[in-house]
Amino acid sequence: MKNLYIYTLGFFMLGIIAQGYGQAILKRADEQASLYNYSVARDLYQKAYKKKKTLNAARGVAECNRKIKNYVFAESWYSKVLSDQSHTPEDEYRYAQVLISNSKYTEAKDVLQQYLSKGQNNELAKKMLEGCDSSLTQLNRPVKGGLNNMAILNSKNSDWGLVLQKGEYIFASDAGRDSIGETPSFSLKNVRKDVYGWTGANYLHIYENNGTDSVNKLIKEINGDYHTASPSFTADGKTMFYAMTTYVKKRRSFWHKEVPYTMMVAIKYRVWDDSKQSWGEPQNFPYNSLLGYSVGDPFISADGNTLFFVSDMSGGKGGTDIYYSKKDVNGKWGEPVGMSADINTVGNERTPYVGADGNFYFSSDGRAGFGGLDIYKAVKFGGDSWKVTNMGVPVNSSQDDFAPFWASGQTLYFSSDRPGGKGYDDIYRFNFSPEVPPVPKKTFILVGTVLNKTTNLPIPDAVVTLVNKNTGVEVKGLTNQKGEFHFDLDSSTDYEINVAKTDYANVRNENLTTKRLTESKTINKTLYMLQVADRSKPIAIKLENIYFDLDKSDIRPDAAVELDKLVTIFNDNPTWKIEMGSHTDSRADDAYNMKLSQRRAASTVKYLVQHGIAADRLTAKGYGETQLVNGCRNGVKCTEAEHQLNRRTEFKVLEQ
């Protein structure tokens, strides 16, 4: 009894220690999140969740993934959050945002309706709900033209905010690794100059490229230690405006002795010195307010007399609004004036731009768009009234599309973090089709159908992505109520088709080509999706033809073929955590079969790890002969074919 008491007390104390350790990790995660170190905080929240599956830890992982725009994982983690009965309406709102970012408008609509039914007076949520309906209609009606990824400029990191100046592409990028430029005015604890904790990449700096090679040259004299971005030039190229960030301490509160730093944005400008052939000293825009609010995304008019910018200063309509300031005859900048209610919303307005056509272009997430920031065109009529229209797909996507810049009447450059890009944010070019009669040519059309693999019934509202493998550009569509979709195809082009829908296993890497087609053709394609509807229960999927030689656990060549298919499935569903389960027939000793099946399961897991599947996603489990699929138990005479049915390998999706 005494020993039992000691062991019980020991386990109890270990439980307290483990719980305390989990709380300590959670506290560290919260601290890192408060410093915008979301990539670090995410890993800590996951570690805390592994110690103890709490709502706060799951929410932390979900939010960090949302902040760093890893929406596939954010969706998976928010589904865990919403499975907890004590989740909040705010959790539902964030989940809907993530679903929209993954182009899952039907699912997002259901969540938003649930959220709004609880009396939430959230104007942005109402606009998002409108956007779900309009997106479902407009996604299959793309604007005519050609979309290209500016691969020569883009890196695996973030590249955005392009302008053309004297034949050079000028833009911001966080692909560099050097800390350069100005020295900050104070020392910062827990803030690194070489890495921006929010993304885990470098800080943004301004680069230039002549468009003919892949070398992006740093404009050293402009950039600071932290973010420097959003370049804008007067027509003569003599004045350059840009945004620069500085870390300042947040206001101290009664409850918090520690005062964390926050990043504030300010606008600076420089004038070109012809005699020195260099940019002059930086000048501050007089309405910067590092201790009060941020100002950024500057756009200077061609004559240099009107500056448009965004700010979260008090008195605005939403998160960030667009303002303008005019310079008088004495060179003094006037008080900022907010754009009208036709432009500014309760959401965030970003990246203002005035085209040569006199129209106003900007991005916003406060309207009924496709998700995230969308690019809008505003045409002025009478006083301060504007007619605002969404520029449609493929200019806009379910994620952030921003920083428009017109190179000509038909060519628009913009930035986007849409899937399929070269990096985090990429620069794109869209050439609008001129309004001229089309030249007769060969036409190729893809007509597809998506069906439930088990029931053979059509799957409506699945997100179908067509990837042009020649250019890397993606276009999206949604299946109709019959599970049908269609795309126009280019000639002599290789494509890849991907399909996604909540509660179904993704379909990826379905290939087709129009190469060697000499006549117009309609290509038909049927795709099947496996339903995994109940996220609270593991799902089991049988693998065919995973066989082992007698009394061995080596992976045979025929089994490797099937396991390679499994590698593809796992890569296509990166949030899944899987149990690999091996089963034997009833012949041989029960205990021996149990050990044999465990070795075979472990061998299967080892193969998958060797082919790039993370070990922490896999569990090996041997079931021996405990889960026979027929009556071939000990002592029952069965054919070899019947015994073979029991010698199977299955995997269970434990977490989605």
Mean pLDDT (the chain, rounded): 85
Residue 187, pLDDT above cutoff 50:
no
Count of all residues that appear for the chain in the document: 656
Non-local (6+) Cβ contacts of 51 within 8 A are: 18, 19, 21, 22, 25
pTM of the predicted protein model = 0.81
Q: 10 Å Cβ neighbour count for 292?
A: 14
In angstroms, rounded to a whole number, what is the distance separating the alpha carbons of residues 279 and 259? 37
Q: What is the pLDDT of residue 350?
A: 97
Degrees, nearest 5: CA angle 201-94-34: 45
Q: What is the pLDDT of residue 3?
A: 52
Query: For residue range 437-457, what is the model confidence (pLDDT) as tens digits?
Result: 555 667 899 999 999 988 999
Q: Name the residue with higher pLDDT: 175 or 114.
A: 114
- Residue 493 phi/psi, 5-degree rounding, is -135, 140
Residue 99 in contact with residue 75, Cβ under 8 Å? yes
| Coil/strand/helix, residue 439 | coil
Q: What is the pLDDT of residue 582?
A: 87
Supply 313's token pair.
């200063």
Q: What is the pLDDT of residue 261?
A: 55
Instruction: Specify burial of residue 20 (Cβ count, 10 A radius: 0-12, 13-18, 19+).
Output: exposed
In angstroms, rounded to a whole number, what is the distance separating the alpha carbons of residues 177 and 206? 13
Bridge partners for 417 per DSSP: none
Query: For residue range 33-80, what is the model confidence (pLDDT) as tens digits?
Result: 888 889 899 999 999 998 899 999 999 999 999 999 999 899 999 999
Supply 149's token pair.
């990824």
pLDDT band of residue 574 (cuts 50, 70, 90) is confident
Winning range, highest mean pLDDT, from 30-44, 179-193, 446-460, 621-635: 446-460
Supply 564's token pair.
């390679």
Residue 237, pLDDT above cutoff 60:
yes
Q: What is the pLDDT of residue 247?
A: 67
Pick the CATH number of 2-138 from 1.10.645.10, 1.25.40.10, 3.40.50.300, 2.10.109.10: 1.25.40.10
* Weakest mean pLDDT among 5-9, 184-188, 364-368, 596-600: 184-188
Residue 493 in contact with residue 514, Cβ under 8 Å? yes
Q: What is the pLDDT of residue 23?
A: 80
Residue 336 DSSP code: P
CATH number of the domain at 539-655, please?
3.30.1330.60
For the chain, the first-to-last Cα distance in angstroms comes to: 44
Query: For residue range 474-518, what is the model confidence (pLDDT) as tens digits?
Result: 888 889 999 999 998 988 899 999 998 888 888 887 899 999 888
| Coil/strand/helix, residue 124 | helix
Non-local (6+) Cβ contacts of 276 within 8 A are: none
* Strand locations in 327-483 (E): 337-338, 349-354, 360-364, 374-380, 386-390, 401-406, 411-416, 426-432, 444-452, 463-468, 474-478
Instruction: Specify burial of residue 229 (Cβ count, 10 A radius: 0-12, 13-18, 19+).
Output: buried
Non-local (6+) Cβ contacts of 612 within 8 A are: 567, 571
Query: For residue range 295-335, what is the model confidence (pLDDT) as tens digits?
Result: 999 999 999 999 999 999 999 998 999 999 999 999 999 99
Averaged pLDDT, 178-186: 35
CA separation, residue 203 to residues 152, 195, 226, 272, 400 (Å): 21, 6, 5, 25, 19
In angstroms, rounded to a whole number, what is the distance separating the alpha carbons of residues 469 and 491? 13
| % of residues, the chain, pLDDT over 90 | 50
Supply 248's token pair.
């300042």
In angstroms, rounded to a whole number, what is the distance separating the alpha carbons of residues 128 and 112? 8
Residue 501 in contact with residue 104, Cβ under 8 Å? yes
Averaged pLDDT, 637-652: 84
Residue 182, pLDDT above cutoff 50:
no
Q: What is the pLDDT of residue 179?
A: 37
CATH 2.60.40.10 fits 444-529, yes or no: yes
Q: Within 13 Å and on the Cβ side, how many CA atoms surround 374?
A: 28
Residue 655, pLDDT above cutoff 90:
no
Q: What is the residue extent of each domain of the chain?
A: 2-138, 145-431, 444-529, 539-655
Averaged pLDDT, 515-533: 88
CATH number of the domain at 145-431, please?
2.120.10.30
* Weakest mean pLDDT among 146-160, 440-454, 524-538, 591-605: 524-538
